[in-house]
Homo-oligomer: A and B are copies of this chain.
């Protein structure tokens, strides 16, 4: 799992900072999460191939999380994309995009599917053989979801020396990786665990932006490998966090601690702060395994 931060600053794009967007890579598949204005340029700058993006997840319809989507969709069209694109986001997102494509007479020449969300409960919204994605209902000024990406267990690891020792035909290795017992060439039943090791532990990524302090999400994200949690403010502006339904770095750390995640990544900093290191300092007092997102930064989840 690899996370490429394209933008992680709140509210308005500036000369050298970008609104929210990130690319999550899981087992060679790319998932675009949020798409603020300028995301397509950030994808280019970070050398991410447009054609590899097949799924876009939009948390909510505030501009700093979605104003770049129509431009990205249009650029895909101009590049003669043929691959289908799936957009998951709040009810209304289809109307926003289609009215613009209609009025510019620029329908996509590739299949474009919208998956509109309106449930206030966690929902499984995507699943394939490698992973699943569920919504994490968040508390914000408008309808907002976070997203929980969970890997599925991979194949068991074949212990090749053991397999040779037990005299197992190569054609059965695939069955071994799938966890099945097999029969050796000499006719003996070989129990799977004797010739394989367990698969890599699965990883998970919880994306929670934008949200007020929300303990309701804790059971769902419990034990996640990485939690990205917004921290628009420091505690010095805690009085702004509540009415705007954002969080402070301390609150984000509190959620990480209570959920027992392995690592916390902070982002969605208000542009009023010139030194983002203060966010790490504030959070580390409560949850030491904290890192700071920044535009262009790449995190590899070990």
Kindly identify, within residues 29 to 62 of chain A, every residue whose CB is under 8 Å from any CB belonging to chain B. Answer: 37-38, 40-41, 44-45, 60-62
Of A13, A62, A141, which is in contact with the most chain B CB atoms at under 10 Å from its CB?
A: A13
Closest to A10 in B: B78
Contact with B along A62-82 (1 / 0, CB 8 A): 110001101100110011000
Q: Is A119 an interface residue (CB 8 A)?
A: no
Q: Is A11 an interface residue (CB 8 A)?
A: yes
Contacts of A61 in B (CB 8 A): 100, 103-104
Instruction: Contact check, B70 vs A63: say whether CB atoms are below 8 A apart.
Output: yes
Q: Which of B15, B68, B75 contacts A45 (CB 8 A)?
A: B15
Contacts of A15 in B (CB 8 A): 41, 44-45
Instruction: Contact check, A142 vs B99: say whether CB atoms are below 8 A apart.
Output: no
Q: Which of B37, B45, B60, B99 contacts A95 (CB 8 A)?
A: B99
Known: A67-B70, A67-B71, A103-B92. A41 touches B14 (CB 8 A): yes
CB of A1 to closest CB in B, whole Å:
26
Q: Is A83 an interface residue (CB 8 A)?
A: no
CB of A10 to closest CB in B, whole Å:
10
Closest to A70 in B: B67
Contacts of A38 in B (CB 8 A): 13, 37-38, 41
Total contacting residues, chain A, CB less than 8 A: 35
- A12 CA / B99 CA spacing, docked (Å): 19
Closest to A62 in B: B104
Instruction: Contact check, A37 vs B68: say whether CB atoms are below 8 A apart.
Output: yes
Contact with B along A268-298 (1 / 0, CB 8 A): 0000000000000000000000000000000
CB of A251 to closest CB in B, whole Å:
22
Instruction: Contact check, A142 vs B104: say whether CB atoms are below 8 A apart.
Output: yes
Instruction: Contact check, B45 vs A106: say whether CB atoms are below 8 A apart.
Output: no
CB of A264 to closest CB in B, whole Å:
27
Q: Is A96 an interface residue (CB 8 A)?
A: yes
Q: List 10 A-B contacts (CB under 8 A).
A: A12-B78, A13-B38, A14-B44, A15-B45, A61-B100, A62-B104, A63-B104, A67-B71, A92-B103, A99-B99
Please report A residues at the B interface, Cβ cutoff 8 Å: 11-15, 37-38, 40-41, 44-45, 60-63, 67-68, 70-71, 74-75, 78-79, 90, 92, 95-96, 99-100, 103-106, 141-142
